[in-house]
């Protein structure tokens, strides 16, 4: 009598003891379907994802939108802003649809599936270049706001310069070094995007505060009759003015770029089906912020609107508590 199976048992060698098949197409960032092994990456909520995606969309370019309105006029400027929002929603919907069909969970995976390894490499290079470019723009804006800037021979004092005078520690290099080490580096070290939901919510809230202050000042001055209604359409008088219209194109076309973060945000959701409503909510929120910022800032400063509208907030606004409001902005 024997107990158990009569078939020989194959013994595993030492080298095969812990070997597992590895699929080279497996994404570096796990999807929500790997819940057993990567449950710590799931559980992101709707509001946190909306704020994170909105912060991806609302970049430094928001401060250049009023200048674009000055070039295009209010009617074409607002119409193009809405049109680009619809284009962005359609492109993200297409991206998610083909990702689902191909069971792909990363933006790089989609590019690799469509264009091969070359496409993946080119995408990674593009993301790096875009990220560096955005960071440079952020650095310029932070330096202008805190340390001041000069344009056409006119010096616009920064916040720290206005409070404490010209000191070595509030010079542009010192301020940017401290911001990089104390703010940017810690925020970039988080493993999950959802960990940034509170800072993202704060960023969106600050954008709303900027809109509220700008709108309040513009309405008060409009009621007082100290500002005129801005141009509704562009002034096209010669060939130079026609070419000048195209300077607004890069600002508007890149205003809603967020595609490379959509998969990462979706992979962290507890319910991945929420990604489409999250995208639409974020685009709606950002469109409202963009349009109101552009309209009221251009209404307030008119033809004096600078390329970086924050530089306009360093002079007397013609209302009580002007200096305080400039500092808050």
pLDDT in tens, 97-149: 989 888 888 888 888 888 888 888 888 898 889 888 888 888 888 888 788 77
CA-to-CA distance for 131 and 141, rounded, in angstroms?
15
- Report the pLDDT value the prediction gives residue 305, as an integer from 0 to 100: 86
CB 277 within 8 A of CB 105: no
Lookup: tokens for 198:
């509170």
Grouping H, G, I as helix, E, B as strand and the rest as coil, residue 155 is strand
- Report the pLDDT value the prediction gives residue 42, as an integer from 0 to 100: 62
Q: Is the dihedral of CA 192, 198, 199, 203 positive or negative?
A: positive
Kindly write down the DSSP assignment for every residue of 258-321, as one continuous string. -HHHHHHHHHTBSSGGGHHHHHHHHHHHHHHHHHHHHHHHHHHHGGG--SSGGGGTTS--SSTT
Reported as type and span, the H/E element at residue 82 is: helix 74-101
CA-to-CA distance for 73 and 309, rounded, in angstroms?
16
pLDDT in tens, the chain (329 residues): 444 444 444 444 444 444 444 455 555 554 444 444 444 556 778 999 999 999 999 876 788 899 999 999 999 999 999 999 999 999 999 999 989 888 888 888 888 888 888 888 888 898 889 888 888 888 888 888 788 777 666 776 777 887 887 788 888 888 899 998 998 888 888 888 888 889 999 999 999 999 999 999 999 888 888 888 888 888 888 888 888 888 888 888 888 989 888 998 998 888 888 999 999 999 999 999 999 999 999 999 988 888 878 778 877 787 888 878 877 87
CA-to-CA distance for 89 and 110, rounded, in angstroms?
17
């Amino acid at each position: 009598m024997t107990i158990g199976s009569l078939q020989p048992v194959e013994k595993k060698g030492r080298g095969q003891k812990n070997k597992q098949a590895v699929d080279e197409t497996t994404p570096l960032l796990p999807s929500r379907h790997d819940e057993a092994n990567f449950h710590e990456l799931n559980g992101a909520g709707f509001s946190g994802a909306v704020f994170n995606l909105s912060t991806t969309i609302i970049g430094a370019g928001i401060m250049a939108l009023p200048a674009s309105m000055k070039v295009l006029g209010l009617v074409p400027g607002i119409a193009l802003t809405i049109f680009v929002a619809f284009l962005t929603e359609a492109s993200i919907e297409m991206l998610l649809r083909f990702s689902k069909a191909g069971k792909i969970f990363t933006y790089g995976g989609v590019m690799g599936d469509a264009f091969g390894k070359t496409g993946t490499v080119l995408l990674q290079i593009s993301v790096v270049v875009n990220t560096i470019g955005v960071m440079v723009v952020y650095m310029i804006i932070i330096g202008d706001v805190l340390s001041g800037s000069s344009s056409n021979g006119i010096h616009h004092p920064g916040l720290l310069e206005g409070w404490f005078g010209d000191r070595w520690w509030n010079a542009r290099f010192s301020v940017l070094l401290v911001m990089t080490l104390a703010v940017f580096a810690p925020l970039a070290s988080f493993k999950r995007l959802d960990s940034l939901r509170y800072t993202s919510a704060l960023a969106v809230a600050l954008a709303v505060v900027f809109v509220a202050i700008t709108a309040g000042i513009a309405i008060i001055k409009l009621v007082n009759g100290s500002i005129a209604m801005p141009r509704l359409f562009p002034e096209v008088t010669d060939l130079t003015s026609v070419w000048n219209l195209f300077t607004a194109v890069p600002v508007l076309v890149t205003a809603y770029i967020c595609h490379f973060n959509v998969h990462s945000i979706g992979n962290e959701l507890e319910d991945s089906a929420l990604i489409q409503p999250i995208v639409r909510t974020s685009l709606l929120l950002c469109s409202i912020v963009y349009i109101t910022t552009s309209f009221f800032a251009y209404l307030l400063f008119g033809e004096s609107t600078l390329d970086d509208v924050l530089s306009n907030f360093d002079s007397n606004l013609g209302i009580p508590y002007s200096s305080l409001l400039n500092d808050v902005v």
